[in-house]
Structure 1
Amino acid sequence: MITQTFRWTALAVLCVALGACASRPEPIRDSSSVSRSAAPQAPSCGPRHTVRRGDTLSGIAERCGVRWLDLAAENNLSAPYTLREGQVLVMPGGARTYTVRRGDNLYRIAVSHGMTQQELASINGIPAPYTIYPGQELQLTGTARPVQTAAATPAPAPSQRPTQTPPPASQPAQPSQPVAGAPQFRWPHGGQVVANFGSQPGGRRNDGIKIAANVGEPVRAAAAGEVVYAGNELQGYGELVLLRHGDWVTAYAHNSVLRVSVGQQVEAGTVIAEAGSTGSANRVQVHFEIRRGVTPVDPLQYLPRR
Structure 2
Amino acid sequence: MGLLSIKLFMRRNGILFASAIICITMLVGCTGGPSSYSYYTGVKNPRPKPSTTDKKQSTSTPKSKSSKSSHRNHTYHYVTKGDTLYSIAWQYGYDAREIARWNKVRWPYTIYPKQKLRVKPPAKNKKSAKTPSKRSHKPKTTASKKTSSSSSKKASTSKQKWSKLSWQWPTSGKVIGTFSARDRGKKGLDIAGKKGQPVYSASGGQVVYSGSGLRGYGKLVIIKHNDTFFSAYAHNHRIYVKEQQKVKKGQHIADMGSSEAQRVMLHFEVRRNGKPVDPMRYLPKRR
Normalising by structure 1, report the TM-score: 0.46
Higher relative contact order at CA 8 Å, sep ≥6: structure 1 or structure 2?
1
Normalising by structure 2, report the TM-score: 0.48
Larger helix share, 1 or 2 = 2
